[in-house]
Chain A
Amino acid sequence: MTSLYSDRSSQGIPDLSYKPSLARNVGSRILTVIAGIFSAVAVLPLILVLGYVIVKGGSKISLALFTELPPPPGLDGGGIANAIVGTIVVTVVAALIAIPVGVGGGIFLAEYSSSGWFAQFIRFGTNVLSGVPSIIAGVFIYGTIVTSRVLFGNAYSALAGGMALSILMLPTVIKTTDEGLKLVSDDLRRAALGVGASRFVTIVRITLPTAFTPIATGVVLAIARAAGETAPLIFTALFSPFWSDLLSTDGIFAPIATLSVLIYNFAIMPYEFHNELAWSASFVLVVMILGLNLFSRWLARFAAK
């Protein structure tokens, strides 16, 4: 009787040494090299874009950038302070709308709906919405809020821009809340109900605090995504070369400058200084988003403890 594995020495010791010329070993090496090349190609744009922005924009960072208004076309000197403030204002407005609505929707999906057709429909709708191009959200707000002047007769405004961004944030917030709550063990829900807690108390006092970190992480990522959007802001928040009057309510009902729209406007201007401002703004925006992402990772690490 001959064995399939007959390569044993005369003493019967099996030959287990690595043979580089075997077809499976050659194939393995080739595929490893191909996979390595493709992952390098995939990382390349990331490094190039970040590196280019840091080199072109980082070199022009100055105090004036954070304190002064952009100069009129053709003139030099000034900064992008109003756009930095504007980006923060618009993003905060978006978060104030998207977080309550999104977290509430996520709670409904995870805790109250019993996977009926309505919940299925909302989950499907959320997935579709997260794939909708951001400019569609802008067009929607432009059509419903800006042209109709429903916001007390104001057309372009910081508020409208925040609304457009909140539409982009919603799917992420709903989905992370839904998933985060699903991760909470049913044992915990039963424990709370077992000591006579109502459903509402169970969710507010036990389930939501337990799922706080994944939800907070998702919210921060959604904010980071919204902060960098340009398309929905171009025809909702528009742009402004001035400080917005944030001490009165006029500020959020008036057009407002944002970093992303400033980059869009200044990068194509035929003035050297404005092009440089656009690069600096790109750098500031990238650093802001990077900071938010790092914050969300820190939150996730915080949860693991």
Chain B
Amino acid sequence: MTTSQLQTEQHQVSDDTAISIQNVTISYGSYEAVKNVYCDVPRGKVTAFIGPSGCGKSTVLRSLNRMNDLIEGCSLKGRVLFDGVDLYGASVDPVEVRRRIGMVFQQPNPFPKSIYENIAFGARINGFTGDMDELVERSLRQAAVWDECKDKLNESGYSLSGGQQQRLCIARTIAIQPEVILMDEPCSALDPISTLKIEETMHELKKSFTIVIVTHNMQQAVRVSDMTAFYNAEAVEGGSGKVGYLVEFNETEKIFNSPQQQATQDYVSGRFG
């Protein structure tokens, strides 16, 4: 006990783990959305969260960069360790967390500014002092949207198509040089061609970033991810709704070909969900 008190905020986790989710329970008010999740997100890989609607996979994802703070009445029990530091520690500034763990949302949400400013905004408020033109070009190239918008950097971000907007949002997130990128169903509002482009982008990105993606699309999980976590929801006695929990977390190949749990087998073979 005395030794653990000495290492106040620092907790021991493997070097290969970027984010360690330890016994996390997230509730909205008194209603528990997801319960007792243990999961170690590996560094430099793509981790997919799959599962039926309402199983809490997006809730868990949002807890990884404290986006749930914005939802009134949302509370978290347990620990989320980012390189050994508890993200929910008393002295942690959520703004610092979000600078290191960026997020791409379900709906493309560019700022009502020019394409250039969309990228430069995040970098500038994070104190970037280098060559902004170079950073904008590099980010847009990494997000595979440079060719489409290199000639109209001063036009509004809204002038792009939905798929281009989403890649602009990815570029915006890359520009702040986070260590982890969270993606909440980034392709659900897009057509198959745009989806394919974003998936190709992700293969490029995982060379430099750790990626966690929530997806409804199992084929997408197979295509892009190295690790897959399957969440499910079950009704609890006396409760009003369902409570989500983590069923199985393993290499993507094992989850889809030789799952350990019957529920996973049923879900990935399309028997429910």
Contacts and interface: CB of A to CB of B under 8 A. Distances in A.
A, B assembled together = yes
A206 B99 CA distance: 17
Interface string A91-104: 00000000000000
Interface string A169-190: 0000000000000000111111
Nearest to A192: B111
B67 A193 contact: yes
Contacts of B122: 195-197
Lowest 3 A-B CB distances belong to which pairs? A196-B99, A195-B122, A187-B109
A198 B69 CA distance: 13
Contacts of A189: 70
A194 B173 contact: yes
Interface string A201-242: 100011001100000000000000000000000000000000
A191 interface: yes
B109 A195 contact: no
Given A188-B111, A201-B125, A210-B112, A195 B102 contact: yes
A191 B168 CA distance: 12
A190 B70 contact: yes
Given A197-B122, A201-B125, A206-B111, A191 B105 contact: yes
A114 interface: yes
Nearest to A201: B125
B98 A195 contact: yes
B169 to A, nearest CB: 7
A28 B67 CA distance: 55
A189 B103 CA distance: 12
B65 A194 contact: yes
20 contacts: A185-B109, A186-B70, A187-B105, A189-B70, A190-B70, A191-B172, A192-B111, A193-B95, A193-B98, A194-B105, A195-B102, A195-B122, A195-B172, A195-B175, A195-B176, A196-B125, A197-B121, A198-B95, A205-B121, A206-B111
A183 to B, nearest CB: 13
B72 interface: yes
A194 to B, nearest CB: 4
A41 to B, nearest CB: 44
Contacts of B109: 185, 187-188, 190-191
Given A193-B70, A195-B176, 20 more contacts: A186-B70, A187-B107, A188-B109, A189-B70, A191-B109, A191-B111, A192-B111, A194-B65, A194-B104, A194-B105, A195-B98, A195-B121, A196-B95, A196-B125, A196-B176, A197-B95, A197-B125, A198-B125, A205-B121, A209-B112
A190 B112 CA distance: 14
Interface of A: 114, 185-198, 201, 205-206, 209-210
A114 B72 contact: yes
B189 to A, nearest CB: 11
B126 interface: yes
A195 B173 contact: yes
Interface in B106-128: 107, 109-112, 121-122, 125-126
Q: For A190, A193, A194, A209, which residue has the most chain B Cβ atoms within 10 angstroms?
A: A194
Contacts of B112: 188, 209-210
Nearest to B73: A114
A194 B121 contact: no
Contacts of A190: 67, 70, 103, 105, 109
Contacts of B121: 192, 195, 197, 205
Nearest to A206: B111
A195 B99 CA distance: 6
Contacts of B72: 114
A157 to B, nearest CB: 43
A189 B99 CA distance: 15
Contact of B98 (A114, A185, A188, A194): A194
Q: Chain B CB within 10 Å — which of A188, A190, A196 has the most?
A: A196
A189 B110 CA distance: 11
A185 to B, nearest CB: 8
Nearest to A197: B125
A196 to B, nearest CB: 3
A191 B173 CA distance: 9
Contacts of B99: 195-196
A194 B125 contact: no
Contacts of A201: 125
A186 B105 CA distance: 12
Contact of A194 (B102, B107, B126): B102
A197 B102 CA distance: 11
